[in-house]
Amino acid sequence: MADAYSEKALELLASQKAAWDMAISGYGSLDSAEVRSFEFEGYEIKTQFNPGRIRSTAAKVDKKSVGERKCFLCEENRPAAQESIDYGDDFWILVNPFPIFPEHLTLPLRAHEPQRVLPFFPAMLDFARDLADRFTVFYNGPKCGASAPDHMHFQAGTRGFMPIDREFDELKRRYGKTLDEKGGVEATAIDDGLRKIVALEGSDKAALADRFARLHDVLAETIPNEEEPMMNVLVNREGETYRVVVLPRRKHRPERYHAEGEERVLLSPASVDLGGVAIIPVEEDFKRADRSVVEEVFREVFVERETLERIGEAYAD
Ligand SMILES: [Zn+2]
């Protein structure tokens, strides 16, 4: 079953890259994307110059702008050449025509409902299981990088592409603090100096959903919480074990995003950026984004150390 979905998704990608103009140009431009790499203690953050992502990075996600455009995830508004795979009764698997990853999927709910993680978290685990051998599944909150905050969707990208996919165990060993293991779900708070993370690991889907709901409650009390507590989420599955990486946020877009002239760096952090591949769609901004800019932006959007400690204490209470 699991392999079947990964395989079907890769077949869909191959056929869309051959026949759909948007996918052809999107994946074509990815081949020439420029990359810089910055080393930190035990991890790496890259920047990727990716002009094809301007639409997403610069997306206006305020209510008025969203209300005035046609939703690009609703079936009736999709380009005729865009094909889909049915995933259960509630979701679709689509090819993302503005890729960051060599294999990049969008996983929208069929119904046009607002972006929310809690009610769909079990579905996220199912996606992670069914796409495990090839993909990492991720979620961007409505004010944490989603360019369609009005239409519930997950995404999936080539597994191992984000440095955090392979660095996780090392981050946990160096910077992790075990919170508890209730319900067989190991919870760990990680502060690597730039990023603040709460990771949940376990093999029982119901127990994970239960502990995720607990964490969601705690976040609702401790971090900015409008539609939902601000967060990004990454999920992998290795063997029988799910690894859920929750990145709690305090800010949607950094000051530099809104700055002008020499100060500006058009970087709107979402799951992939925080997972270690920061996307910058404008060349001058990409050149300007040195190590200190990366540090500044990451520190700005994540919660502070004391907040992570409060989250950890409340979660394990
Ligand atoms: Zn929609």
In a domain, 92, yes or no: yes
Q: Output the CA 313–ligand 1 centroid distance in Å.
A: 38
Q: Output the CA 98–ligand 1 centroid distance in Å.
A: 18
Q: Output the CA 74–ligand 1 centroid distance in Å.
A: 4
How many other CB atoms sit within 10 Å of the CB of residue 317?
Answer: 9
pLDDT score for 148: 93
In a domain, 194, yes or no: no
Task: List the strands of the sheet with 34-40, edge to edge.
Answer: 34-40, 43-49, 277-280
Task: Spell out, as residue ranges, where the chain has pLDDT lower than 70.
Answer: 1-3
Q: Output the CA 150–ligand 1 centroid distance in Å.
A: 7
Q: Output the CA 65–ligand 1 centroid distance in Å.
A: 14
Query: Which domain covers residue 153, as residue numbers?
Result: 2-66+81-163+227-301
Q: Output the CA 108–ligand 1 centroid distance in Å.
A: 9
pTM of the model: 0.96
d(CA 103, CA 89): 24
pLDDT score for 53: 84
In a domain, 251, yes or no: yes
**CATH number of the domain within which 271 lies:** 3.30.428.70
In a domain, 199, yes or no: no
Which pLDDT tens digit goes with each residue over 173-212? Answer: 999 999 999 999 999 999 999 999 999 999 999 999 999 9
In a domain, 267, yes or no: yes
pLDDT score for 58: 81
In a domain, 309, yes or no: no
Q: Output the CA 71–ligand 1 centroid distance in Å.
A: 5
Q: Output the CA 249–ligand 1 centroid distance in Å.
A: 25
pLDDT score for 1: 53
Q: Output the CA 231–ligand 1 centroid distance in Å.
A: 21
pLDDT score for 2: 53
In a domain, 200, yes or no: no
In a domain, 12, yes or no: yes
pLDDT score for 200: 98
pLDDT score for 3: 62
Q: How many domains does the chain contain in total?
A: 1
Protein residues with C-beta less than 5 angstroms from the ion ligand 1? 71, 73-74, 112, 151
pLDDT score for 60: 84
User: Following DSSP, what letter does each residue of the chain receive, concatenated?
Assistant: -HHHHHHHHHHHHHHHHHH-HHHHHHHHHHTT-EEEEEEETTEEEEEEE-GGGHHHHT---SHHHHHHS--TTSGGGS-TT--EEEETTTEEEEE-SS-SSSSEEEEEBSS-----SGGGHHHHHHHHHHTTTTEEEEEE-TTTT-S-TTS-EEEEEETT-SHHHHHHHHHHHHHEEEEE-GGG-EEEEEE-SS-EEEEEEES-HHHHHHHHHHHHHHHHHHS-BSSSB-EEEEEEEETTEEEEEEEEBS-SS-HHHH--GGG-------HHHHTTEEEE-SHHHHHH--HHHHHHHHHHHBPPHHHHHHHHHHHH-
